[in-house]
Structure 1
């Protein structure tokens, strides 16, 4: 199975892209809704949570792990790499690579305080394209707005315009949605950023990287085949179930799982 975890329901954007780009592969998803958001937690705690999430997915039969959380991708990959003995994919590098390929020179990053504060996107961009100018802005309310289903409220657009105004004034031409919750707000973010700004979705780029990896590892790819999908949350709510089913376009039998 392809194991995917996030601090909440944002990682479902990665699940949707995996279903689209890699149909016929089994997926097990875990959303740590009881401890969301990760973006306000310490690096030590984020690392501990990420390892627990990944180990739970391994217990469910995952042979590949996707860290569908930008905060965990930014702050927990070192501990995950040392503790998890299957291929582990993160969402930061694919997004930076895509942005570097299309920008005219100015890239904006939006994410949680944890992701933006880590500086991971700027470092990755300097490694790939040092000539590109990067500016980041934290958007701490976006995760809660998505989790509460406020994806199309006028208040959400007002907040988005407030967050993105410094980036617009800076003249960015490309914007990385540096949190997997943010594609739920793609229309609002696009309107706030302006029609001249191209959006980069880490979910789509990460699924594409996983697809390329499996093409190079056909034996593993064969073992992932099937339609036995499983969805777990550490705090199962009816709202999560409804949002998951609506976003994925299919019924999801969401189960509760408590991590120790």
Structure 2
């Protein structure tokens, strides 16, 4: 495998670009390809078989584009399909899971909230992780119904978003949580809105940084980190409109290319 080959990242839409930002921040030298399967978003309300089939389709596309490692920047795809993907492909595959462990270890109120999609909350991997780390802790699990379509539409702080967030966070506030774990890669884009609604003492955790660190560790161990310091290629492909990706990544507009393709 060539060190100059790109890191491949996929998600059920634009949300995983929050993970891509962490990868790019940690490894600014690396070529990257991001695949946004917005046409099939959200994955969270699909069956496990459908999620696995879509994940395989995305991996095949990234392999076709010559990637050296694949990051599944989607909690729902990770919790439902990662073991199948790892059995099927030899290429290293990095997953993303809600950061339940740090929240459970650090909570002082012994109460944490998890905002995620139905597909993540109902998966076997999620319930195993939760059981393992939250024995003496009260966990408020909330399905973030309606959030992904609004984020996919670039509607981050309209009245509809604010009213949904107030509804979703109310049970957490009532349960006196001091940590809220974001279990969907779309949700980091609404952290500013969540901070306005949640009490000041509540900390919000997502998994982006941990995923970037793990990706770097694996590339290092395989001696696959890119050493050239020429300008990297940062490519984004989507099978829907390109405007939302451009909007979410506007601070990178000089460095990236965003293209619509069929996959």
TM value normalised by structure 1: 0.90
SS of 2:161's equivalent in the other structure is helix
The residue aligned with 2:159 is 154
Q: 1:85 to 1:136 in 2, by over 3 A?
A: same
The residue aligned with 1:97 is 101
2:199 pairs with 1:202? no
The residue aligned with 2:184 is 179
| 1:257 corresponds to which of 241, 245, 261 | 261
What stretches of structure 1 of length at least 5 have no aligned partner?
none
TM value normalised by structure 2: 0.89
More helix by share: 1
Q: 1:36 to 1:204 in 2, by over 3 A?
A: same
The residue aligned with 2:243 is 239
Q: How does 1:85-234 map to 2 (within 5 A)?
A: 85-92=90-97, 95-104=99-108, 105-118=110-123, 120-128=125-133, 130-217=135-222, 219-222=223-226, 227-234=232-239
The residue aligned with 2:16 is 11
Which has the larger displacement, 248-257 or 77-86?
A: 248-257
Residue 118 of structure 1 deviates from its aligned partner by 2.2
RMSD across aligned positions (CA): 2.1
> Aligned pairs, how many?
256
Q: How does 1:31-70 map to 2 (within 5 A)?
A: 31-70=36-75
Residue 192 of structure 1 deviates from its aligned partner by 2.3
State whether residues 234 and 255 of structure 2, in contact with CA within 8 Å, keep that contact through their aligned partners in structure 1.
Answer: no
Q: 1:49 to 1:177 in 2, by over 3 A?
A: same
Residue 249 of structure 1 deviates from its aligned partner by 5.3
Residue 251 of structure 1 deviates from its aligned partner by 4.9
SS of 1:5's equivalent in the other structure is strand
Distance 1:213 1:100 in 2: 26
Distance 1:87 1:97 in 2: 23
